[in-house]
């Protein structure tokens, strides 16, 4: 089976599985306990905090461990919520774990603005700038779009925000960017940044939220006061330490070069195929492709039968009709219906990608021939 849906989830490194087992079965102690072996576990967890800060390029700030991106995004947005006539700015390109929280804020009576996308998939920067005012509490954008691979210019957005108001919080969903593209959070001036372990070969069910100023956040989960009171509940020790191992193992620059090569090889076999339209974002990890005259779900199922797994979009919303992200880019509905998402990881080989691209072309042509 050739797996090309890495934006949905990635295969965990074998080394991470070994670490996970060690801290689940042997060094399984609760880090909140006071005996020596438990204190060693707490120390290990704090080492992962430092590792994440370093990988983010953040010289200061706090790392709050969560169950994954959905909880991190909820904590960032709802945890920064304050009473009053505040306004919030979100993007039509947001992942459902941000977009649906935005709708919840709207339901609660807050003023919520949704900014559209340009034809290249990036957020409309001018629109964001025009909406920021003295009542704006938070601006939230995605770093790398999970549907198209479009990369938003975070520095440009943060400069807009700081020029308008020093009190606005800047939240970034960095799930498809962290450990995949090079950046420095200090230079980008971001207040809140979300990561998720299973998107970069760590275990599922663990993630983190970077918080520049912890005083900007309030807890949304209450209990024993773990994570300095900002996320109660016994820490997922094995998940956190295994996530740290994945971060240690990843070489962003080397992987990026490899993925570019895989993407370019893949595209070379599709670029001259009649009826194929490729929406290639700035990140080489994700491609959105439409196949004229063929339903994307039909193509996806047919490819599965041939041993190739691709996606239909966000795994958190792929079962729903339509595609908010592609619609906001101005892509016609018929084209959206015929689209699939192909996403790579450094565990893919050139041979796999070469074979998969040929299978996709053959399956597409066979379906078109049958329905013509």
Q: How much is the pLDDT for 318?
A: 44
Determine how many CB atoms are found less than 10 A away from the CB of residue 43.
Answer: 10
Mean pLDDT along residues 303-315: 87
Q: How much is the pLDDT for 281?
A: 82
At residue 313 the predicted structure's pLDDT band, cuts being 50, 70 and 90, is: low
224-279: per-residue pLDDT in tens? Answer: 989 887 998 999 999 999 999 999 999 999 999 999 999 999 999 998 899 999 98
> How far apart are the two ends of the chain, measured CA to CA in Å?
29
Handedness of CA 330, 335, 337, 343 (dihedral sign): negative
Residue 320 has pLDDT above 70, yes or no: no
More confidently predicted of 14 and 317? 14
Average pLDDT score, the chain: 94
88-128: per-residue pLDDT in tens? Answer: 999 999 999 999 999 999 999 999 999 999 999 999 999 99
For residue 11 the two structure tokens come to 């295969």
Residue 319 has pLDDT above 50, yes or no: no
Q: How much is the pLDDT for 166?
A: 87
Exposed e or buried b for every residue in 67-97, given b needs 16+ CB within 10 A? Answer: bbbbbbbbbbbbbbbeeeebbbbbbbbbbbb
Q: How much is the pLDDT for 322?
A: 61
Q: How much is the pLDDT for 317?
A: 47
21-42: per-residue pLDDT in tens? Answer: 999 999 999 888 899 998 999 9
Q: How much is the pLDDT for 171?
A: 98
* Domains (range + CATH), the chain: 2-9+251-371 (3.90.1150.10), 14-249 (3.40.640.10)
Per cent of the chain over pLDDT 90 is 89
Q: How much is the pLDDT for 338?
A: 95
Residue whose token pair is 């998969």: 356
Least confident of 208-217, 225-234, 300-309: 225-234
Within 13 Å of residue 24, how many CA atoms lie on the same side as its CB? 12
For residue 289 the two structure tokens come to 């492709």
Annotated catalytic residues are 316
Cα(356)–Cα(223) distance, integer angstroms: 48
For 28-65, the DSSP string reads ---TTS-SHHHHHHHHHHHHHHHHHHHHHT-SS-EEEE
CA distances from 303 to 206, 280, 286, 309 (A): 31, 21, 18, 7
Question: Are 313 and 327 contacting, i.e. CB atoms less than 8 angstroms apart?
Answer: no
Mean pLDDT along residues 329-345: 95
pTM for this predicted structure: 0.95
37-69: per-residue pLDDT in tens? Answer: 989 999 999 999 999 999 999 999 999 999 999
């Amino acid at each position: 089976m050739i797996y090309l849906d890495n934006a949905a989830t990635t295969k965990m490194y074998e080394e991470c599985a070994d670490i996970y087992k060690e801290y689940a079965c042997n060094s399984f102690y609760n880090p909140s306990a006071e005996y020596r072996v438990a204190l060693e576990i707490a120390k290990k967890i704090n080492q992962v905090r430092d590792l994440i800060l370093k990988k983010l390029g953040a010289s200061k700030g706090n790392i709050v461990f969560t169950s994954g991106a959905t909880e991190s995004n909820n904590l960032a947005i709802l945890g920064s919520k304050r009473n009053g006539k505040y306004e919030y700015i979100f993007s039509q390109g947001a992942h459902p774990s941000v977009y649906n929280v935005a709708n919840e804020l709207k339901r609660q009576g807050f003023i919520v603005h949704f900014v559209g996308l340009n034809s290249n998939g990036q957020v409309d920067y001018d629109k964001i700038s025009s909406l920021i005012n003295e009542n704006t509490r938070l601006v939230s954008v995605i770093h790398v779009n999970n549907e198209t691979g479009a990369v938003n210019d975070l520095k440009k957005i943060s400069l807009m925000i700081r020029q308008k108001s020093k009190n606005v919080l800047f939240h970034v969903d960095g799930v498809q960017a962290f450990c995949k593209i090079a950046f420095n959070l200090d230079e980008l001036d971001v207040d809140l940044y979300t990561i998720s372990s299973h998107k970069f070969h760590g275990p599922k069910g663990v993630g983190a939220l970077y918080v520049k100023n912890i005083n900007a956040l309030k807890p949304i989960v209450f209990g024993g006061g773990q994570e300095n009171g900002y996320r109660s509940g016994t820490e997922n020790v094995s998940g956190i330490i295994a996530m740290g191992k994945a971060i240690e193992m990843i070489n962003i620059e080397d992987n990026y070069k490899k993925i570019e090569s895989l993407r370019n090889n893949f595209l070379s076999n599709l670029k001259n195929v009649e009826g194929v339209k490729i929406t290639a974002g700035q990140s080489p990890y994700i491609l959105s492709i439409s196949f004229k005259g063929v339903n994307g779900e039909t193509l996806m199922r047919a490819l599965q039968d041939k041993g190739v797994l691709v996606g239909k979009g966000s795994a958190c919303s792929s079962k729903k009709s339509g595609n908010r992200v592609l619609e906001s880019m101005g892509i016609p509905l018929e084209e959206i219906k015929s689209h699939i998402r192909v996403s790579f990881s450094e565990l893919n080989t050139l041979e796999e990608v070469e074979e998969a691209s040929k299978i996709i072309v053959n399956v597409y042509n066979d379906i078109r021939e049958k329905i013509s």
